């Protein structure tokens, strides 16, 4: 009997211990910096991302703008600290000929945007407009080159037009003639987009040769301001693609490989962006959390060829993808953005932070009015989505030292399936402040998390939280501030131990001094 009692007590204790959320952070093991470019964005000539999103035209009198770009959008993105912006696609990039978008606007030709609804593209927003806008935003541009239907000459001319010093090429005279007297700073260059799909339906064995040809002629004008070349990377778990790129691309010809992964339930039945069921929520989160496995496995392949981690993984398209809002153009990919999207953003950014040794860039798709947008616009109105708020709360991690951590989480269970309820990442910034970002994806239960920090001591903790009553909640043009970060009080600090109570489907960012 006594023995039975001891075993029963032990089992009960084990069950209680197992049903706890714990995080241990080891400050002494910190070595990698979280690149700010992990917090990057993506803008394509698609739906109302560029036109009516960023750009309303120089002659617009009803929406305040500078050179045609909305001032409210610029202010919001600067506040969020947007570090890099990818453009002009996406699939559009491999149909885009940059010369069509420079020079006097009345002389620019129009084309059909064949990927996104066959709408007229009048090229009124082109290279000069985009690069000037990036300067205004304080964001670095990432130009996606046309490899699918362009030529190596066209791409090398674009490099010269944008980055070469005055007087060094007919392209720089052309730039002068178009009103720009100095080069822009354009470091990031993509050589094609989704070469396995809309970028040419190539086999990877063919793409490596095409890449090598294009990269050969994309020369830096000197060695001080080098181009950072990003190869069109794998889709999801296409590990063969990564393997062949790593094996066949000469090391001096590339700096990063892309990776695209969307959190989509089923490409043929994506489900609504707002009125979704818990089952749909669960599957979306399953897809979002798959990012951990994808990044780990692609990185492991890269490790074989590049053990010193000189080459980066750039997750240059990611985010939630649902059915478009009823009544909108299906080709415009306009969707609302709920607390589910905040869960995707918080969780994926935690994954990228924790893989800071290999993931050096990520670009959320897409910045305004398309897919998992941070901003939605409707004529003169603009709203910030829950995803915007996560990006803004997490910007404390930009260029901070990543603190390795180990998370033990209870399960979020739905029927026979389960996911880890809690995920997290941590960093220490240049001012000595430590930040911990925590996500509780469980829509039904608050989670208590005990955090132990080894190798540092703190005297105070404060925090902010993003939450709402229902995971389907969103900000609308009628109720734009329904969801926004507020101060977070449910945390106690004793020595190096924190106890945090995280409400259902919420994101918390703590600051420790
Ligand atoms: O972001 C929308 C589209 O998704 C992009 O144009 C393409 O690269 C991807 O398939």
How does DSSP assign 394-441, residue by residue? Answer: HGGGTTPEE--EEEE-PEEEETTEEEESEEEEEEE-TTS-EEEEEEE-
> Rounded to the nearest whole angstrom, what is the distance from the C-alpha of residue 403 to the centroid of ligand 1?
33
Give the pLDDT of residue 224: 55
Q: What percent of the chain has pLDDT over 90?
A: 94
pLDDT digits (tens, 9 = 90+) for 157-173: 999 999 999 999 999 99
Give the ligand 1 atom nearest the CA of 42: 1
* Residue of 50, 86, 90, 147 with the most ligand 1 atoms within 8 Å of its CB, for mutation: 90
Residue 16 pLDDT class (50, 70, 90 cuts):
very low
Q: Out of 190, 193, 368, give the residue to mutate to test ligand 1, the one with the largest number of ligand atoms within 8 Å of its CB.
A: 193
In 306-380, alpha helices (H): 339-354
Which of 44, 121, 140, 317 is an active site residue? 317
Residue 194 has pLDDT above 50, yes or no: yes
Q: Could you tell me the distance, in angstroms and rounded to a whole number, from the CA of residue 232 to the centre of ligand 1?
A: 12
Q: Which of 226, 40, 48 is nearest to 134 (CA)?
A: 40
Ligand 1 pocket test, pick from 53, 88, 89 with the greatest ligand atom count within 8 Å of Cβ, gives 89
Measured CA to CA, the distance from residue 54 to residue 37 in angstroms comes to 20
Residue nearest to atom 3 of ligand 1 (CA): 90
Answer whether residue 195 shows pLDDT above 80: yes
For atom 8 of ligand 1, which residue has the closest CA?
Answer: 90
pLDDT at site 222: 66
Q: Is the pLDDT of residue 49 over 90?
A: yes
pLDDT band of residue 478 (cuts 50, 70, 90) is very high
How many angstroms does the Cα of residue 318 sit away from the middle of ligand 1?
A: 9
Helix (H, G, I), strand (E, B) or coil at 109: coil
Q: How far apart are CA 94 and CA 53, in angstroms?
A: 22
* Contacting residues for 214 by C-beta, under 8 A, at least 6 apart: 145, 147, 152, 155, 191, 192
Q: Would you place residue 324 in the very low, low, confident or very high pLDDT band (cuts 50, 70, 90)?
A: very high
Tokens in use for 311? 């080459």
Q: Is position 129 annotated as part of the catalytic site?
A: no
- Is the pLDDT at 9 greater than 50, yes or no? no
Does residue 212 carry a pLDDT above 50? yes
Q: Does the pLDDT of residue 1 top 50, yes or no?
A: no
Distance 483 CA to ligand 1 centre (A): 28
Which of ligand 1's atoms lies nearest the C-alpha of 199?
A: 8
Name every protein residue with a CB atom under 6 angstroms from any ligand 1 atom: 44, 89-91, 193-194, 317, 365-366, 371
Query: Which among 410, 429, 415 has a CA at the least distance from the CA of 504?
Result: 410
Torsion of CA 257, 229, 262, 147, to 10 degrees: -110
Of 76, 109, 201, 217, the C-alpha closest to 155 is: 217
Q: Measured from the CA of 365, which atom of ligand 1 is nearest? A: 1
Residue 220 pLDDT grade (very low, low, confident, very high; cuts 50, 70, 90): confident
Query: Which residue puts its alpha carbon closest to atom 2 of ligand 1?
Result: 90
**Catalytic residue chosen out of the listed positions 129, 194, 280, 392:** 194
- Ligand 1 centre and the CA of 269: distance in Å? 17
Residue 17: the pLDDT is 46
For 410-457, write each residue's pLDDT tens digit: 999 999 999 999 999 999 999 999 999 999 999 999 999 999 999 998
**Best substitution site from 46, 117, 332, 365 to test ligand 1's pocket, by max atoms within 8 Å of Cβ?**
365
DSSP three-state, residue 384: strand
pLDDT number for residue 226: 85
CA distances from 263 to 156, 260, 321 (A): 35, 10, 6
The single-letter DSSP state of residue 236 is T
Whether 317 is catalytic is yes
Residue identifier of the C-alpha nearest atom 7 of ligand 1: 90
**The pLDDT value given to residue 3:** 54
Higher pLDDT, 374 or 222: 374
Atom of ligand 1 nearest to the CA of 90: 6
CA 332 – CA 127 distance, rounded (Å): 22
Q: What integer best gives the mean pLDDT of the chain?
A: 95
Rounded to an integer, what distance in angstroms lies between the CA atom of residue 183 and that of residue 127? Answer: 12
Q: Looking at residue 14, what is its pLDDT? A: 46
For residues 321 and 264, the answer to whether their CB atoms sit within 8 Å is yes
Residue nearest to atom 4 of ligand 1 (CA): 90
């Amino acid at each position: 009997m006594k023995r039975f009692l001891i075993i029963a007590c032990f089992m009960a204790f084990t069950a209680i211990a197992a049903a706890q959320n714990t995080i241990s952070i080891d400050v002494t093991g910190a070595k990698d910096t979280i690149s700010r470019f992990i917090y990057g964005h993506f803008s394509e000539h698609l739906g109302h991302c560029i036109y009516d999103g960023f750009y309303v035209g120089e002659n617009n009198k009803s929406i305040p703008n500078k050179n045609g770009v909305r001032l409210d959008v610029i202010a919001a993105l600067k506040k969020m600290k947007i570090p890099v912006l990818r453009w002009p696609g996406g699939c559009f990039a491999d149909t885009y000929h940059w010369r069509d978008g420079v020079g006097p606007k009345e002389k620019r030709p129009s084309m059909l945007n064949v990927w996104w609804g066959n709408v007229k593209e009048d090229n009124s927003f082109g290279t000069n407009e985009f690069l000037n806008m990036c300067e205004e935003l304080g964001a670095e541009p990432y130009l996606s080159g046309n490899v699918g239907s362009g030529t190596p000459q066209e791409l090398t001319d674009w490099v010269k037009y944008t980055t070469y010093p005055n007087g060094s090429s007919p392209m720089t005279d052309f730039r002068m003639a178009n009103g720009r007297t100095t080069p822009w700073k354009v470091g990031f260059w993509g050589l094609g987009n989704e070469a396995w799909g809309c970028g040419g339906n190539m086999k990877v064995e063919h793409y490596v040769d095409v890449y090598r040809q294009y990269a050969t002629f994309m020369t830096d004008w000197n060695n001080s301001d080098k181009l950072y070349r990003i190869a069109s990377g794998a889709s999801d778990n296409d590990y063969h693609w990564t393997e062949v790129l790593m094996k066949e691309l000469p090391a001096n010809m590339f700096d990063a490989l892309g990776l695209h992964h969307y959190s989509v339930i089923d490409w043929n039945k994506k489900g609504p962006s707002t009125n979704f069921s818990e089952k749909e929520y669960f599957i979306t989160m399953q897809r979002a959390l798959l990012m951990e496995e994808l990044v780990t496995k692609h990185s492991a392949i890269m490790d074989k060829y590049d053990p010193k981690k000189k080459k980066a993984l750039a997750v240059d398209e990611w985010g939630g993808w649902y059915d478009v809002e009823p009544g909108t153009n299906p080709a415009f990919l306009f969707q609302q953005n709920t607390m589910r999207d905040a869960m995707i953003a918080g969780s994926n950014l935690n994954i990228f932070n924790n893989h800071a040794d290999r993931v050096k860039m990520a670009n959320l798709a897409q910045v305004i009015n398309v897919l998992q947008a941070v901003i939605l616009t409707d004529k003169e109105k603009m709203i910030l989505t829950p995803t915007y708020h996560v990006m803004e709360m997490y910007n404390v991690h930009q260029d901070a030292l990543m603190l390795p951590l180990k998370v033990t989480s209870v399960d979020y269970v739905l029927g026979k399936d389960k996911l880890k309820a809690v995920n997290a990442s941590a960093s220490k910034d240049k001012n000595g402040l430590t930040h911990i970002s925590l996500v509780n994806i469980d829509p039904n239960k608050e989670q208590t998390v005990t955090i132990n920090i080894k190798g540092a001591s703190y005297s105070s903790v404060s925090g902010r939280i993003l939450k709402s009553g229902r995971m389907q909640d969103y900000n609308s043009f009628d109720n734009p501030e329904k969801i926004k970060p507020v101060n977070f009080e449910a945390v106690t600090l004793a020595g190096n131990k924190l106890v945090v109570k995280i409400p259902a489907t919420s994101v918390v960012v703590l600051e420790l001094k």
